[in-house]
Amino acid sequence: MGCSAGPAAPATVTATVTATKTVTVTPSATATAAPATSTTQSPPPTSGSSPSPSPTLRTENTRLQANMLVSILERNFPSCRTAAGLTEFNYEVVENNTATLPYDYWIKVGYSESFFYNLQYDDTITADNKTLVRQQLKSFQESIARAIIAYMPEKKFFGGYYSGGSLPRHYYSWVNYTPADIKTEYEKAFISGFAWYPEIDDKLTR
């Protein structure tokens, strides 16, 4: 699984950069990915809905779903072959059980910090290729987002390339709810489809 590679002009990126295995990540995969998911597909509880499962049960169910999402991502989106070479990713999915955050799951796409650094500062990579690689990485992230949203359309997601530590970095962040603001409370965020969330992002340029 990977991005299209080669010195193609930036204008052709949209046509050439695709996620070839995304079609395998569909809601129909639920039955084979993890038997426990049949009990966890109900939407988040809202005012006036039936009583929620106990906190212990809900935590266990969301943890199982988070692990399943990691497996799907690792299997289908392990790397991206760009115009500047192959770069690999790792994944962490964090479930939210609080009322103060808007999403159900945070999709953390771990990236090669050296690859992203070189994309900004390595002068042996031409400006045109840097532009192309940034578009390839953005397209790859969108493929991840749309696959996950299609797999669990009733859940709210916040995702993107992420590096933690003392100076966290976000690139090509996205959500599938509005308002997108990370400070929105859970009950005030509503599923609305894929959208970029650039307000939180760092820049992949100098």
Give the helix ranges, DSSP H, for the chain.
Answer: 13-16, 30-33, 55-76, 113-121, 127-151
Structure tokens at 8: 């193609």
pLDDT number for residue 61: 67
pLDDT number for residue 18: 33
pLDDT number for residue 60: 59
Q: How far apart are CA 185 and CA 3, in angstroms?
A: 35
- Looking at residue 198, its amino acid is P
pLDDT number for residue 139: 98
* Total-model pTM: 0.73
Running along the chain, 206 residues long, what does each successive block of 10 average in pLDDT? 42 31 35 38 41 44 86 98 97 96 98 97 96 98 98 97 95 98 97 97 94
What is the DSSP-derived secondary structure letter of residue 203? P
pLDDT number for residue 165: 85
> Under a CB-based contact definition with an 8 Å cutoff, are residues 156 and 191 in contact?
yes
pLDDT number for residue 64: 85
pLDDT number for residue 56: 43
Contacts of 191-200 spanning 24+ positions with Cβ under 8 A: 191/153, 191/154, 191/156, 193/149, 194/142, 194/145, 194/146, 194/149, 196/172, 197/158, 197/160, 197/173, 198/173, 200/170, 200/173
Torsion of CA 202, 162, 139, 74, to 10 degrees: 170
Structure tokens at 123: 């002068």
pLDDT number for residue 62: 66
Q: Count H helices and E strands in the chain, helices first.
A: 5, 7
